[in-house]
Structures are given as structure tokens and as C-alpha cells.
A and B are shown apart, each in its own frame.
Chain A
């Protein structure tokens, strides 16, 4: 009776969480849903007389694997959400159809099979003095070769991950001496003017004013300013928005004077990347 109740509660939870994993837009939600599925499966293992597997499931899956997933998600960028454009025509429809057909096939096939009452593993485990001693005896006698090969697999995986994630340094690391030399040989040995100096406002996006009243292009981050102008995040005060616009224009003019092509606006850049990709 207890097993039946546990099963129905956890079955509903795990199927709902699995659907959430597939259909949630944000990858972090997907990861948390997967963690929920794994935890419910661990409880189902425990109910089915597999305490060792339940512990391993929690330690390996919800502990190590999920942490690794979240780690990589944070590394790659949490907001790397799916694009909604279908690259293959009708892919979503056919994929859904294939998934539903597959589910129906599996469930009908399994549902039609007739099983006798399950004896459970309790007796087999009891004969060896418990679940874990029984599993240990099987691992270290009959399956000892597979177990040893597993260690080779794990070492190869660890080595492979290190090789894949390693980045070769193509130039020697800059020492403090190199940095100091580059700075004093460059055009501006002093620190750049801070944003908002002598201005009405000391926010990070407000350009500093020079003694003659014009804006200093060096005092603000050009990427930030362009982002604000393009996405419409400029201050509501038109005077302040004008200052940001002036600083951006002045910076680009200075770059053009030096013979450097100023960076393209973001939309243009995206279009170029798209053309390259096609």
C-alpha cells in the first residue's frame, strides 16, 4: 500500500518535472526540473529495495552531474535561451508527432505485457547478508573485469575533459613590468576620466564635462552608450540623453580621425554574422 501511494505521488511529480524540463524556456529551470526528476527516481529506487542505487543516484546524479550542468550553464551564460525560429520546416510538428508515437508504442507495448507477481530482490539480497554486500560480491567476482574497465573509462574521461577544456597560451603572460611599459608608452598614462565628473549627475552612463563645457568621450564606456541608444534605455531627461549621444558621436569621430573603423551598430553586426553563417 505504501509503495503504491509513493509510486503515484512520485510518478506524477516526475512526469510533470520531465515535461517542465522539455518545455521551460530558461535552461536553469530545465536543470532544476531534471534535479527533481532524479530525486524522485532515487526515492523510487529506495522503494524498490535498491538502497545502494538510491544513494548513488543522489550522490552522483543530483550531486555531481547536476552541479556540473549548472556550472557549465553559468559558464556559457544563463540567458543563452533557445531561438524560436524553426530552421527546419515543420520540425516541431514532426518531432512532436514522433515523440507521441514513440510514447504510445512503448506504453502500449509495455502495458500489454503480462507479468506475474514480482518476487522482489529482498530474498536474493538476504541470502548474501543485505543489498550492499550482495552487490559488492557480484561486482568483485562475476563482473570484476567490467568493473576494472570502468576505472579505465573514468580515467580516460577525466583526461579527455582536461584536454578538451585546456586552452593553450599563445603569447607569454604579461608581467607587471610589461603592463606598466605599455601604459606609459601609450597615449594616456593617467587614468581615464571618471563618468559624470563636473557633470550634473554621477551615474556610470553620464559623460564627464570638459572645462569648455563639451563632453569627454573617454569618460564613458562606448559599448554601454551604444547599447543605451540602440535599445532605448537613455535617460528620460532629453538634455542628459543628448550628452550621451554627443559623447558617443565624439568617440567615433576620434576613432575615425585615427584611421580606425568605429565598431558597427549591433544590428548591422548581427546581420553580417548571419550572412557569414548562411
Chain B
């Protein structure tokens, strides 16, 4: 069963990575990053079961805390960019490009 869970986790992680590469709405890109974090958590929980110790679950818990903090800051930045550029597309935030 461990392999099944890990394959599911790998699939979800790659779908998230694909979304980050493909989508250009900053909020959707952010959701894909969350999907990748969730996939990692699934792998952590699976390995906790595989090794018979609770450390994996503990790490997953800390990942959730960090993800929550990251979401708060990231969304605040997106709102700020939207206020100045009137757009949530990652293509429009290009003032540092040249």
C-alpha cells in the first residue's frame, strides 16, 4: 500500500508543478503550490506509517503551519500587486525585468 500512496503523492505533486508552469493567474499558481505542499504531506504521512514512528506526521503538521503562514503573506502580496497593477496575472508584474 505504501507504494500506492507514494505514487498518488507523486502524481499530485507533478500536477501541481504542471499548473505552476502552465497557469498565469497568480491566484491559481498559488493554489497549485498548495497542491504540491499537500502532496508532500501525504508522502510524509505515508512514510510515518512505513517506518512505524510518528515523526512523519509531526513534520506534516509543521508543513501545514508554514503553509498557512505562506498563504497569508502570498495572498497579501497578490492583493497589493492587484491594487497597483489592476491585474492578477503574473505576466503583468514585470517592472523589475529590464
Residues of A near any B CB (own CB < 8 A): 3-4, 7, 11, 14-15, 18-19, 21-22, 27, 30-31, 34, 37-38, 41, 44-45, 48-50, 52-53, 56-57, 60-61, 64-65, 68-69, 72-73, 75-77, 80-83, 87, 91-92, 95-96, 98-100, 102-103, 106-107, 110-111, 113, 115, 118-121, 123-125, 131, 134-135, 138-139, 143, 146, 150, 153-154, 156-158, 160-161, 164-165, 167, 277
Chain B residues closer than 8 Å to A56, beta-carbon distance: 61, 64
Q: Which of A7, A53, A68, A115 has the most B CB atoms < 10 Å from its CB?
A: A53
Contact between A14 and B12, CB atoms less than 8 A apart: yes
The contact of A34 among B6, B31, B46, by CB within 8 Å, is B31
Decide if A138 touches B54 in the complex (CB within 8 Å): yes
Alpha-carbon distance between A110 and B12 when the two chains are bound, in angstroms: 13
Check if B5 sits within 8 Å of A7, measured CB to CB. Answer: yes
| Cross-chain contact B22 with A27 (CB below 8 angstroms) | no
On chain A, the residues within 8 Å of B54 by CB distance are 121, 124-125, 131, 134-135, 138
Is A44 touching B5 in the complex (CB atoms < 8 A)?
Answer: yes
Kindly list chain B residues whose C-beta atoms are within 8 Å of the C-beta of A110: 3, 6-7, 10
With A21-B31, A157-B72 already in contact, the answer to whether A61 and B61 are too (CB < 8 A) is no
CA gap between A110 and B80 in the complex, in Å: 40
Set of chain A residues within 8 Å of B58, measured between Cβ atoms: 135, 138-139, 143
Cβ-defined partner of B14 (8 Å) among A3, A65, A102? A102
- Pick from B52, B55, B69, B91: contact of A153, CB below 8 A: B69
Quick check: B75 and A135 within 8 Å, CB to CB?
no
Instruction: Using CB atoms, name the residue of chain B closest to A22.
Output: B19
5 sampled A-B residue pairs with Cβ under 8 A: A15-B12, A44-B42, A100-B18, A135-B58, A138-B54
B47 shortest CB reach to chain A, Å: 9
> Which residues of A sit under 8 angstroms from B5, Cβ to Cβ?
7, 44, 48
Cross-chain contact B68 with A64 (CB below 8 angstroms): yes
Q: With a CB–CB cut-off of 8 A, which chain B residues contact A138?
A: 54-55, 58
Q: Which of A102, A111, A131, A143 contacts B7 (CB 8 A)?
A: A111
Cβ–Cβ < 8 Å partners of A44 in chain B: 5, 42, 45
A167–B59 Cα gap in the complex (Å)?
36
A61–B64 contact, CB under 8 A? yes
A50→B76 contact, CB < 8 A: no
Question: Given the complex of chains A and B, what is the CA–CA distance between A18 and B9 in angstroms?
Answer: 11
Question: B25 near A82 (CB under 8 angstroms)?
Answer: yes
Check A154/B77 contact, CB under 8 A, given A15-B11, A146-B62. Answer: no
Is the CB–CB distance between A120 and B52 below 8 Å?
Answer: yes
With a cutoff of 8 Å between Cβ atoms, the chain B residues found around residue A48 in the complex are: 5, 45-46, 48-49
Q: Which A residues touch B23, using CB under 8 A?
A: 22, 82
Complex Cα distance, B58 from A52, in Å, reads 10
A15, A57, A164: which contacts B76 (Cβ < 8 A)?
A164
Contacts of A65 in B (CB 8 A): 34, 67-68, 71
Q: Are A157 and B73 in contact (CB under 8 A)?
A: yes
> A7, B4: Cβ atoms under 8 Å?
yes
A203 CA to B54 CA, complexed, in Å: 66
Report the bound CA distance from A98 to B23 in whole Å.
Answer: 14
Distance in angstroms from B88 CB to nearest chain A CB is 5
Contact status B27-A161, CB under 8 Å:
no
Q: Are B69 and A154 in contact (CB under 8 A)?
A: yes
Contacting pair A69 B12 (CB below 8 A): no
Contact A160 B1 (CB under 8 A): no
Alpha-carbon separation in the docked complex, A38 to B71 (Å): 15
